[in-house]
Structure 1
Amino acid sequence: MKKLILLLLVFPFFVIAQDLPTVYPFISEGAKYIDREASIALEINILERDISTGNIDSNLLDFGLEVFEYYNKYGAISEDVYFEYLEQSEYGDSWLSCIVPDYVSSTLKSQGNNSYNKSNLGDRDPRTAWVEGADGYGIGEYIEMRVYAEALKDLRILNGYQKSIKSWKDNSRVKSFKVYINNVPVRILELEDRMGEQIISFDDLLPEGFDIWSAEDFEIKLEILAVYPGERWKDVCISGISFFGCYC
Protein backbone atom coordinates (compact mmCIF):
# COMPACT_ATOMS: atom_id res chain seq x y z
CA MET A 1 0.00 0.00 0.00
CA LYS A 2 2.82 2.39 0.87
CA LYS A 3 4.46 1.64 -2.50
CA LEU A 4 1.19 2.41 -4.31
CA ILE A 5 0.81 5.72 -2.49
CA LEU A 6 4.42 6.60 -3.34
CA LEU A 7 3.83 5.85 -7.03
CA LEU A 8 0.69 7.98 -7.05
CA LEU A 9 2.64 10.85 -5.53
CA VAL A 10 5.64 10.56 -7.84
CA PHE A 11 3.93 9.73 -11.15
CA PRO A 12 2.19 13.11 -11.72
CA PHE A 13 5.47 14.96 -11.23
CA PHE A 14 7.20 12.55 -13.63
CA VAL A 15 4.58 13.22 -16.30
CA ILE A 16 4.81 16.98 -15.79
CA ALA A 17 8.61 16.85 -16.02
CA GLN A 18 8.57 14.86 -19.27
CA ASP A 19 5.60 16.43 -21.07
CA LEU A 20 7.30 19.74 -21.75
CA PRO A 21 6.62 22.28 -24.52
CA THR A 22 9.21 22.28 -27.31
CA VAL A 23 10.77 25.52 -28.54
CA TYR A 24 12.80 26.13 -31.68
CA PRO A 25 15.47 28.73 -32.50
CA PHE A 26 15.71 31.46 -35.08
CA ILE A 27 18.81 31.10 -37.28
CA SER A 28 20.68 34.39 -37.74
CA GLU A 29 23.30 32.99 -40.15
CA GLY A 30 21.69 31.08 -43.00
CA ALA A 31 24.58 28.90 -44.15
CA LYS A 32 24.92 25.41 -42.71
CA TYR A 33 28.71 25.60 -42.84
CA ILE A 34 30.73 28.72 -41.97
CA ASP A 35 34.49 29.24 -42.32
CA ARG A 36 35.08 30.99 -38.98
CA GLU A 37 38.73 31.80 -39.75
CA ALA A 38 37.68 33.64 -42.90
CA SER A 39 34.73 35.40 -41.26
CA ILE A 40 36.86 36.70 -38.36
CA ALA A 41 39.54 37.92 -40.78
CA LEU A 42 36.85 39.73 -42.80
CA GLU A 43 35.36 41.36 -39.68
CA ILE A 44 38.81 42.59 -38.62
CA ASN A 45 39.49 43.96 -42.11
CA ILE A 46 36.18 45.84 -42.07
CA LEU A 47 36.95 47.31 -38.63
CA GLU A 48 40.44 48.37 -39.77
CA ARG A 49 38.95 50.04 -42.84
CA ASP A 50 36.29 51.83 -40.80
CA ILE A 51 38.86 53.15 -38.32
CA SER A 52 41.20 54.32 -41.09
CA THR A 53 38.39 56.16 -42.91
CA GLY A 54 36.70 57.50 -39.78
CA ASN A 55 33.55 55.56 -40.59
CA ILE A 56 32.81 54.50 -37.00
CA ASP A 57 30.06 55.15 -34.50
CA SER A 58 31.07 58.33 -32.66
CA ASN A 59 29.64 56.90 -29.43
CA LEU A 60 32.44 54.33 -29.39
CA LEU A 61 35.03 57.08 -29.12
CA ASP A 62 33.69 57.98 -25.67
CA PHE A 63 34.93 54.64 -24.38
CA GLY A 64 38.58 55.31 -25.23
CA LEU A 65 38.80 51.82 -26.65
CA GLU A 66 42.23 50.21 -26.92
CA VAL A 67 41.49 49.14 -30.48
CA PHE A 68 41.85 52.70 -31.81
CA GLU A 69 45.17 53.29 -30.05
CA TYR A 70 46.41 49.88 -31.17
CA TYR A 71 45.48 50.52 -34.80
CA ASN A 72 47.07 53.98 -34.81
CA LYS A 73 50.29 52.48 -33.43
CA TYR A 74 50.56 49.32 -35.56
CA GLY A 75 48.34 50.00 -38.56
CA ALA A 76 46.49 46.72 -38.00
CA ILE A 77 44.36 44.95 -35.38
CA SER A 78 45.34 41.65 -33.79
CA GLU A 79 42.76 38.96 -33.02
CA ASP A 80 43.21 39.42 -29.26
CA VAL A 81 42.54 43.15 -29.52
CA TYR A 82 39.55 42.49 -31.77
CA PHE A 83 37.90 40.17 -29.23
CA GLU A 84 38.59 42.71 -26.46
CA TYR A 85 36.94 45.32 -28.67
CA LEU A 86 33.82 43.16 -29.02
CA GLU A 87 33.52 43.02 -25.23
CA GLN A 88 34.31 46.68 -24.58
CA SER A 89 32.05 48.09 -27.29
CA GLU A 90 28.79 47.03 -25.61
CA TYR A 91 26.85 50.19 -24.90
CA GLY A 92 23.63 52.07 -25.39
CA ASP A 93 20.12 50.63 -25.45
CA SER A 94 21.19 47.04 -26.12
CA TRP A 95 23.94 44.67 -25.03
CA LEU A 96 25.28 41.22 -25.77
CA SER A 97 26.73 39.34 -22.81
CA CYS A 98 28.93 36.29 -23.31
CA ILE A 99 29.13 34.57 -19.93
CA VAL A 100 31.16 31.75 -18.47
CA PRO A 101 28.82 29.15 -16.91
CA ASP A 102 28.94 28.67 -13.16
CA TYR A 103 29.18 24.91 -13.55
CA VAL A 104 29.50 22.18 -16.18
CA SER A 105 29.00 18.52 -15.34
CA SER A 106 32.18 17.35 -17.08
CA THR A 107 34.98 18.55 -19.36
CA LEU A 108 37.18 16.70 -21.84
CA LYS A 109 40.86 16.78 -20.86
CA SER A 110 43.09 19.18 -22.77
CA GLN A 111 44.87 17.74 -25.80
CA GLY A 112 48.11 19.46 -26.73
CA ASN A 113 47.44 23.18 -27.04
CA ASN A 114 43.67 22.66 -27.22
CA SER A 115 41.70 23.31 -24.04
CA TYR A 116 37.99 22.51 -23.79
CA ASN A 117 37.10 24.34 -20.56
CA LYS A 118 33.80 26.08 -19.82
CA SER A 119 35.54 29.47 -20.25
CA ASN A 120 35.52 28.83 -24.01
CA LEU A 121 31.74 29.33 -24.00
CA GLY A 122 32.18 33.00 -23.10
CA ASP A 123 35.41 34.05 -24.84
CA ARG A 124 33.67 35.42 -27.97
CA ASP A 125 35.87 33.25 -30.20
CA PRO A 126 33.70 30.77 -32.16
CA ARG A 127 36.75 28.61 -32.86
CA THR A 128 37.03 27.45 -29.25
CA ALA A 129 34.52 25.17 -27.52
CA TRP A 130 33.45 23.53 -24.31
CA VAL A 131 33.54 19.76 -24.78
CA GLU A 132 31.87 17.42 -22.30
CA GLY A 133 34.03 14.64 -20.92
CA ALA A 134 31.60 11.79 -20.25
CA ASP A 135 31.66 8.39 -21.94
CA GLY A 136 29.48 7.98 -25.01
CA TYR A 137 27.50 10.85 -26.47
CA GLY A 138 27.22 12.92 -23.29
CA ILE A 139 23.49 12.40 -22.77
CA GLY A 140 22.59 13.91 -19.40
CA GLU A 141 25.63 16.21 -19.24
CA TYR A 142 24.72 19.81 -18.50
CA ILE A 143 25.62 23.48 -18.18
CA GLU A 144 24.43 25.71 -15.32
CA MET A 145 24.36 29.52 -15.48
CA ARG A 146 23.22 32.19 -13.05
CA VAL A 147 21.63 34.91 -15.16
CA TYR A 148 20.79 38.47 -14.17
CA ALA A 149 17.27 38.90 -15.44
CA GLU A 150 17.09 42.62 -16.18
CA ALA A 151 15.94 43.31 -19.75
CA LEU A 152 16.85 39.89 -21.16
CA LYS A 153 15.52 39.24 -24.64
CA ASP A 154 17.11 36.06 -25.95
CA LEU A 155 19.61 33.24 -25.56
CA ARG A 156 22.15 32.63 -28.36
CA ILE A 157 24.03 29.40 -29.02
CA LEU A 158 26.85 28.37 -31.37
CA ASN A 159 26.40 24.60 -31.65
CA GLY A 160 29.29 22.22 -32.25
CA TYR A 161 33.05 22.70 -32.42
CA GLN A 162 33.44 25.60 -34.87
CA LYS A 163 37.23 25.68 -35.07
CA SER A 164 36.81 24.58 -38.68
CA ILE A 165 34.15 22.98 -40.83
CA LYS A 166 36.01 19.66 -40.53
CA SER A 167 36.12 19.93 -36.71
CA TRP A 168 32.41 20.70 -36.67
CA LYS A 169 31.59 17.63 -38.76
CA ASP A 170 33.98 15.34 -36.87
CA ASN A 171 32.52 16.09 -33.43
CA SER A 172 28.99 15.64 -32.12
CA ARG A 173 26.53 18.52 -31.68
CA VAL A 174 23.52 19.05 -29.44
CA LYS A 175 20.20 18.08 -31.01
CA SER A 176 18.08 18.94 -27.99
CA PHE A 177 18.39 20.29 -24.47
CA LYS A 178 16.07 19.90 -21.53
CA VAL A 179 15.86 23.41 -20.07
CA TYR A 180 15.54 23.99 -16.33
CA ILE A 181 14.71 27.28 -14.62
CA ASN A 182 15.70 27.31 -10.95
CA ASN A 183 16.09 23.52 -11.16
CA VAL A 184 12.56 22.96 -12.51
CA PRO A 185 12.26 21.45 -16.04
CA VAL A 186 10.27 23.85 -18.23
CA ARG A 187 11.06 23.34 -21.94
CA ILE A 188 12.65 21.11 -24.55
CA LEU A 189 14.93 23.15 -26.81
CA GLU A 190 15.45 21.65 -30.29
CA LEU A 191 18.55 22.95 -32.08
CA GLU A 192 19.27 22.74 -35.79
CA ASP A 193 22.33 20.95 -37.11
CA ARG A 194 24.19 23.93 -38.53
CA MET A 195 27.02 26.29 -37.63
CA GLY A 196 24.97 29.48 -37.74
CA GLU A 197 24.10 31.24 -34.49
CA GLN A 198 20.79 30.00 -33.07
CA ILE A 199 18.62 32.53 -31.22
CA ILE A 200 15.94 31.55 -28.70
CA SER A 201 13.51 34.14 -27.36
CA PHE A 202 13.09 34.21 -23.59
CA ASP A 203 9.37 34.73 -24.17
CA ASP A 204 9.33 31.18 -25.60
CA LEU A 205 11.85 29.73 -23.17
CA LEU A 206 10.44 30.81 -19.82
CA PRO A 207 7.40 29.15 -18.24
CA GLU A 208 4.04 30.87 -18.23
CA GLY A 209 3.70 33.22 -15.30
CA PHE A 210 7.46 33.75 -14.87
CA ASP A 211 7.91 37.52 -14.61
CA ILE A 212 11.40 38.20 -15.95
CA TRP A 213 11.06 41.92 -15.21
CA SER A 214 10.61 41.37 -11.48
CA ALA A 215 13.22 38.61 -11.01
CA GLU A 216 16.65 39.86 -9.98
CA ASP A 217 18.32 36.72 -11.28
CA PHE A 218 17.62 33.05 -11.91
CA GLU A 219 19.44 29.87 -12.80
CA ILE A 220 19.31 28.22 -16.22
CA LYS A 221 20.37 24.62 -16.69
CA LEU A 222 20.80 23.10 -20.15
CA GLU A 223 20.89 19.29 -20.06
CA ILE A 224 21.86 17.35 -23.19
CA LEU A 225 18.89 15.23 -24.23
CA ALA A 226 19.85 14.12 -27.77
CA VAL A 227 22.74 14.68 -30.18
CA TYR A 228 23.71 14.85 -33.83
CA PRO A 229 26.53 12.25 -34.00
CA GLY A 230 29.92 13.39 -35.24
CA GLU A 231 31.53 11.67 -38.21
CA ARG A 232 34.57 10.77 -36.09
CA TRP A 233 34.06 11.56 -32.39
CA LYS A 234 31.25 11.08 -29.89
CA ASP A 235 32.30 14.14 -27.85
CA VAL A 236 29.57 16.81 -27.76
CA CYS A 237 30.77 20.39 -28.27
CA ILE A 238 29.35 23.90 -27.91
CA SER A 239 31.35 26.90 -29.13
CA GLY A 240 29.46 29.76 -27.53
CA ILE A 241 26.58 30.87 -25.33
CA SER A 242 25.48 34.48 -24.95
CA PHE A 243 22.52 36.55 -23.81
CA PHE A 244 21.05 39.59 -25.55
CA GLY A 245 19.20 42.33 -23.71
CA CYS A 246 17.57 45.61 -24.61
CA TYR A 247 16.72 48.59 -22.39
CA CYS A 248 13.72 49.52 -24.50
Structure 2
Amino acid sequence: SSELPTDAAASYTANQVIDGSLETSWVEGVDGPGVGESFTLTFPAPLLVEQIGMSIGFDRDDAIFTANNRIKQATIRFSNGYEFEQTFADTRGIQTFDIAPPSPELAEVTSVTVVIQDIYPGTRFDDTCLAEIEVWGRTP
Protein backbone atom coordinates (compact mmCIF):
# COMPACT_ATOMS: atom_id res chain seq x y z
CA SER A 1 0.00 0.00 0.00
CA SER A 2 1.05 3.63 0.00
CA GLU A 3 3.12 5.60 2.47
CA LEU A 4 3.83 9.28 2.96
CA PRO A 5 7.28 10.11 1.53
CA THR A 6 10.12 10.39 4.03
CA ASP A 7 11.12 13.99 4.72
CA ALA A 8 13.76 15.75 6.78
CA ALA A 9 11.62 15.41 9.92
CA ALA A 10 10.74 11.70 9.84
CA SER A 11 10.26 8.44 7.99
CA TYR A 12 6.69 7.19 7.57
CA THR A 13 7.33 3.72 6.11
CA ALA A 14 5.45 0.56 7.07
CA ASN A 15 8.52 -0.60 9.02
CA GLN A 16 7.57 1.97 11.66
CA VAL A 17 4.66 -0.22 12.85
CA ILE A 18 7.03 -2.97 14.04
CA ASP A 19 9.87 -0.90 15.50
CA GLY A 20 8.60 -1.15 19.09
CA SER A 21 8.11 2.60 19.42
CA LEU A 22 4.95 4.68 19.73
CA GLU A 23 7.08 7.71 18.76
CA THR A 24 7.10 6.66 15.07
CA SER A 25 4.26 5.91 12.68
CA TRP A 26 3.33 4.51 9.29
CA VAL A 27 1.39 7.19 7.40
CA GLU A 28 -0.58 6.28 4.28
CA GLY A 29 0.28 8.39 1.26
CA VAL A 30 -2.83 8.80 -0.88
CA ASP A 31 -4.93 11.94 -1.21
CA GLY A 32 -7.75 11.89 1.32
CA PRO A 33 -8.16 9.79 4.44
CA GLY A 34 -6.70 6.55 3.10
CA VAL A 35 -9.80 4.36 3.34
CA GLY A 36 -8.96 1.12 1.50
CA GLU A 37 -5.21 1.47 2.10
CA SER A 38 -3.56 -1.52 3.75
CA PHE A 39 -0.36 -3.06 4.98
CA THR A 40 0.67 -6.69 5.44
CA LEU A 41 2.87 -8.32 8.06
CA THR A 42 4.45 -11.58 6.89
CA PHE A 43 5.74 -14.02 9.50
CA PRO A 44 8.96 -16.02 9.01
CA ALA A 45 7.08 -19.25 9.90
CA PRO A 46 3.42 -20.24 10.34
CA LEU A 47 1.89 -18.85 13.51
CA LEU A 48 -1.24 -19.59 15.54
CA VAL A 49 -2.29 -15.99 16.16
CA GLU A 50 -4.05 -15.50 19.50
CA GLN A 51 -4.08 -11.73 19.99
CA ILE A 52 -3.27 -8.51 18.13
CA GLY A 53 -2.57 -5.07 19.55
CA MET A 54 -2.59 -1.82 17.59
CA SER A 55 -1.91 1.83 18.32
CA ILE A 56 -4.33 3.39 15.84
CA GLY A 57 -2.76 6.81 15.24
CA PHE A 58 0.45 8.84 15.40
CA ASP A 59 0.93 8.22 19.13
CA ARG A 60 3.97 10.44 19.86
CA ASP A 61 1.91 12.90 21.94
CA ASP A 62 -1.67 14.16 22.34
CA ALA A 63 -1.26 17.01 19.84
CA ILE A 64 0.07 14.90 16.95
CA PHE A 65 -2.42 12.11 17.76
CA THR A 66 -5.44 14.40 17.32
CA ALA A 67 -3.92 16.38 14.41
CA ASN A 68 -3.83 13.26 12.19
CA ASN A 69 -6.54 10.77 11.23
CA ARG A 70 -6.80 7.62 13.34
CA ILE A 71 -8.11 4.19 12.35
CA LYS A 72 -11.69 3.76 13.54
CA GLN A 73 -12.46 0.47 11.79
CA ALA A 74 -10.31 -2.00 9.90
CA THR A 75 -10.63 -5.34 8.19
CA ILE A 76 -8.18 -7.81 9.71
CA ARG A 77 -7.41 -10.40 7.00
CA PHE A 78 -5.25 -13.50 7.43
CA SER A 79 -3.35 -15.48 4.78
CA ASN A 80 -5.76 -18.42 5.13
CA GLY A 81 -8.78 -16.32 4.14
CA TYR A 82 -10.21 -15.74 7.63
CA GLU A 83 -11.13 -12.08 8.15
CA PHE A 84 -13.23 -9.89 10.41
CA GLU A 85 -13.97 -6.22 11.09
CA GLN A 86 -12.43 -4.58 14.16
CA THR A 87 -13.60 -1.25 15.61
CA PHE A 88 -11.22 0.82 17.73
CA ALA A 89 -11.76 3.44 20.43
CA ASP A 90 -10.36 6.89 19.67
CA THR A 91 -7.67 6.58 22.36
CA ARG A 92 -3.89 6.54 22.50
CA GLY A 93 -1.88 3.44 23.36
CA ILE A 94 -2.05 -0.19 22.31
CA GLN A 95 -5.58 -1.59 21.96
CA THR A 96 -5.61 -5.39 22.08
CA PHE A 97 -8.17 -7.85 20.78
CA ASP A 98 -8.36 -11.63 20.83
CA ILE A 99 -8.37 -13.66 17.64
CA ALA A 100 -11.12 -16.27 17.68
CA PRO A 101 -11.42 -18.03 14.32
CA PRO A 102 -14.49 -20.23 13.87
CA SER A 103 -12.38 -23.39 13.50
CA PRO A 104 -8.86 -24.43 14.59
CA GLU A 105 -7.56 -24.86 11.02
CA LEU A 106 -8.20 -21.16 10.41
CA ALA A 107 -5.85 -20.19 13.25
CA GLU A 108 -2.57 -21.07 11.48
CA VAL A 109 -1.38 -18.21 9.26
CA THR A 110 1.71 -16.81 7.55
CA SER A 111 0.57 -13.18 7.29
CA VAL A 112 -1.97 -10.63 8.47
CA THR A 113 -3.25 -7.66 6.46
CA VAL A 114 -4.92 -4.59 7.96
CA VAL A 115 -7.23 -2.65 5.61
CA ILE A 116 -8.46 0.80 6.70
CA GLN A 117 -12.28 0.95 6.48
CA ASP A 118 -13.14 4.08 8.50
CA ILE A 119 -11.27 6.82 10.34
CA TYR A 120 -11.54 9.36 13.12
CA PRO A 121 -10.73 12.65 11.31
CA GLY A 122 -7.69 14.64 12.32
CA THR A 123 -7.94 18.29 13.29
CA ARG A 124 -5.09 19.35 10.98
CA PHE A 125 -3.95 16.61 8.56
CA ASP A 126 -5.92 14.26 6.30
CA ASP A 127 -3.39 11.45 6.71
CA THR A 128 -4.22 8.22 8.53
CA CYS A 129 -1.50 6.86 10.81
CA LEU A 130 -0.66 3.68 12.67
CA ALA A 131 2.07 3.80 15.31
CA GLU A 132 2.44 0.12 16.16
CA ILE A 133 1.06 -3.37 15.65
CA GLU A 134 1.87 -6.32 17.89
CA VAL A 135 0.96 -9.93 17.15
CA TRP A 136 0.95 -12.61 19.83
CA GLY A 137 0.71 -16.30 19.11
CA ARG A 138 2.56 -19.58 19.11
CA THR A 139 4.07 -21.93 16.59
CA PRO A 140 1.83 -24.83 15.53
1:43-192 map, 5 Å:
105-147=1-43, 148-182=45-79, 184=81, 186-192=83-89
**Aligned residue among 211, 215, 219 for 2:105:** 211
| Residue 182 of structure 1: how far off its partner (Å) | 2.3
**For residue 221 of structure 1, what is the amino acid of its counterpart?**
T
Could you list the per-position Cα deviations for residues 126-179 of structure 1 after superposition, in whole angstroms to 9, with x for gaps in the alignment? Answer: 110000001100010001122344453211101100121100010000000112
Partners of 1:193 and 1:149 in 2: CA distance: 32
The structure carrying a bigger helix percent of its residues is: 1
8 Å CA contact retained: 2:59, 2:93: no
**For residue 197 of structure 1, what is the amino acid of its counterpart?**
I
| Residue 237 of structure 1: how far off its partner (Å) | 0.3
Partners of 2:131 and 2:70 in 1: CA distance: 10
- Which stretches in structure 1 are left out of the alignment for 5+ residues? 1-104
| Residue 111 of structure 1: how far off its partner (Å) | 2.5
- Which stretches in structure 2 are left out of the alignment for 5+ residues? none
**For residue 116 of structure 1, what is the amino acid of its counterpart?**
Y
1:232 is the counterpart of 2:129:
no
Determine which structure has more spread, i.e. the larger CA radius of gyration: 1
8 Å CA contact retained: 2:47, 2:110: no
8 Å CA contact retained: 1:150, 1:212: no
1:244 is the counterpart of 2:136:
yes
TM-score (norm 1): 0.51
Number of equivalenced pairs: 138
Are the structure 2 counterparts of residues 152 and 186 from structure 1 closer, same or farther at C-alpha, using a change threshold of 3 Å? closer
Partners of 1:183 and 1:131 in 2: CA distance: 27
Between the aligned residues of both structures, percent identity stands at 24
8 Å CA contact retained: 1:183, 1:221: no
8 Å CA contact retained: 1:160, 1:173: yes
The structure carrying a bigger strand percent of its residues is: 2
Instruction: Give the 3-state SS of the residue equivalent to 1:116 in structure 2.
Output: coil
Partners of 1:242 and 1:192 in 2: CA distance: 17
Instruction: Give the 3-state SS of the residue equivalent to 2:32 in structure 1.
Output: coil
8 Å CA contact retained: 1:122, 1:240: yes
**For residue 232 of structure 1, what is the amino acid of its counterpart?**
R
